[in-house]
Amino acid sequence: MKAEERFFRIFMFLSTLLIAVALLLLIASILVKGLPAISWEMISQTPKGGYYFGKEGGILNAILGSLYLSLGATFLAFIVGLPVALFMNIHLINRKKLVNSIRFFLDLLWGVPSIVYGAFGFTLMIYLGLRTSLLAGIITVTLFIIPIMVRGMDEVLKTVTRGLYESAMSLGSTKSETAYFIFFRQCIPGIITAILLSFGRAIGDAASVLFTTGYTDYLPTSLSQPTATLPLSIFFQLSSPIDEVKVRAYASAVVLTVIVLTISILSRYFTKRFHQHKISD
Amino acid sequence: MTEQEAKIRIVNLNMSIGNKPILKNINLEIPSNKLTVILGPSGCGKTTLLKCLNRLTDLYPDATVDGNIFIGDEDILHTKKNVNDIRKRMGLLSQRPYPLPMNIYKNVSYGLRISGRRKKKFLDKRVEHYLRMVNLWEEVEDRLREPATSLSIGQQQRLCLARGLAVDPEIILADEPTSALDPISSEAIEKKFAELKSRYTIILVTHILRQARRIADNVVFMYLGEIIEQGSAEQFFNDPREEKTKQFIKGAFN
């Protein structure tokens, strides 16, 4: 084997190993620290009086709050994002410069730290007269994940072959029919990945919900009430000096990881059903 | 060609992308219910000419098209009619099949469904009719709900033909439709065209001389964006007028 080839093989192997080990350590550390504290009580109850001092109660408020928040935001971002992504790739197919500048701005927005979105959401709340609430959180997180959603879908939509586009158009489809009946269906697996990516960002982010969603020990019952979220719950518990509480922070992290994992596996399962329609170039 | 009724009349057609001329001053009459082959070496503008006919050229940036294309009495380049309705008058078969990302049944019924025909009984009948027309029905009748991509490539091309025929066009545009197919599938498509020409006006683009010999009624020979010669197949192959045509028939370009 050539020396060069050997070098790159070793290099690639070491990089892969590094990533795998980092990931395994991360998962192992939350499992080792968190699993002992996980109980049915923890995921089925709201925090009782002395919960933050290590007494009984659970984090159901944060689990439900996070699910409501990120499902709501992902749904809204999808409703707004899909037409944008389709429009960029079908209707604006001849406006390469315009589409590329849209992509550039979306990438910029993707890179803006989530705390900035939190601050922006907060200003928006004052302007609209909203209190810290689930609704304010959903709006902020929606804004925060729209660039991810649009660019994620855009990346798969732009791989659709020109031939399929022209075939659809030559059958007399309008551009919108081509967009929703052909491009959308052709790209379902990639679109699901984009949704998943956005959902992952939505459920895992703490900074954007800090000012906007607030925190409460009660279960979320209304869009206009403050709502607990898992990242903030982890943050509060981890900053406690009491060991029993700290351990529960890791347990909460396990819960968060399991939620993301479950949704990921479920969506992959459903994605498979649509892969069969994919034509390759 | 002049004694017959011309289906398509192209007058002074020029097409360019940016500053680069692709088609230069094309004048052409295509008779109805005949198979007209557009022949020529790669890159001579055959495909572009085909795309002008169903206005797919609208979808290219920097493309400018001048001149007139009459179908019947209507100039389709300057009509106020909806371009989608113009495209529905022509079925396009491309170089390789692009099945729509849906099942076989929905592929064939797609054109009908976007035209608002949704009654199941009607669609069932039409789907069977057009699949029989391209000799695909026996092969797929018990797997209509399977994805179109599960078919072989030759079957897919016949499916695409059925899909194009289902919008009930007057004209079939075929852009090297056999170039991705094996010899047996190619023969099936050629035979089908020979049958279909009594009902449709067919324009077939190819660079394969033998294919043109086998199926053409009329031949248009193009070279570098211009029409060099056009005429009946018999005259074209046996007694070509132009020097370039003679060279091409001898195989000088291939």
- B100: nearest CB among A94, A161, A182: A182
* Structure tokens, A259: 């939620």
Q: What is the pLDDT of residues A101-132, one digit of tens each?
A: 999 999 999 999 999 999 999 999 999 998 99
Determine the pLDDT at residue A279: 58
Q: What is the pLDDT of residues B229-238, one digit of tens each?
A: 998 988 888 8
Q: What is the pLDDT of residues B56-86, one digit of tens each?
A: 998 888 889 999 999 988 899 988 888 998 9
ipTM attached to this prediction: 0.89
- Which domains does chain B show, CATH number per domain? 1-86+203-254 (3.40.50.300)
Chain B positions contacting chain A at CB under 8 Å are: 51, 54, 56, 59-61, 84-85, 87-88, 90-92, 94-96, 98-102, 110-111, 114-115, 147-150, 160, 163-164, 167, 173
Exposure of B9 by Cβ count < 10 A (0-12 exposed, 13-18 middle, 19+ buried)? Answer: middle
Q: Where are the domains positioned within chain A?
A: 3-37, 44-275
Please, where are the H alpha helices in chain A?
3-34, 40-44, 60-86, 96-111, 114-128, 134-157, 162-170, 175-177, 184-186, 188-204, 207-210, 230-238, 243-275
Determine the pLDDT at residue A281: 46
- A94: nearest CB among B59, B98, B149: B59
Determine the pLDDT at residue B157: 92
Task: Give the number of C-alpha atoms closer than 13 A to the C-alpha of residue A230, restricted to the C-beta side.
Answer: 27
Going across the sheet that includes B6-17, the strands are B20-31, B6-17, B63-71, B74-75
Q: What is the pLDDT of residues A47-63, one digit of tens each?
A: 887 888 878 888 999 99
Q: Which of A153-157, A213-217, B40-44 has the lowest mean pLDDT?
A: B40-44
Can you tell me the distance from the alpha carbon of A255 to that of A260, in angstroms, rounded to the nearest whole number? 9
* Structure tokens, A261: 């994992």
* Structure tokens, A173: 């489809």
Q: What CATH superfamily classification does A44-275 receive?
A: MetI-like (1.10.3720.10)
In chain B, what residues touch A173 (CB-CB under 8 Å)?
Answer: 84, 114
Contact B91, B169 (CB under 8 A): yes
* Structure tokens, A95: 């406006």
Q: Which residue has the tokens 């550390």?
A: A29
Contact A134, A213 (CB under 8 A): yes
Q: B162 to chain A: nearest residue by CA?
A: A171
Other beta carbons within 10 angstroms of residue A272's beta carbon come to 10
In chain B, what residues touch A186 (CB-CB under 8 Å)?
Answer: 101
Is A173 near chain B, with CB under 8 Å?
Answer: yes
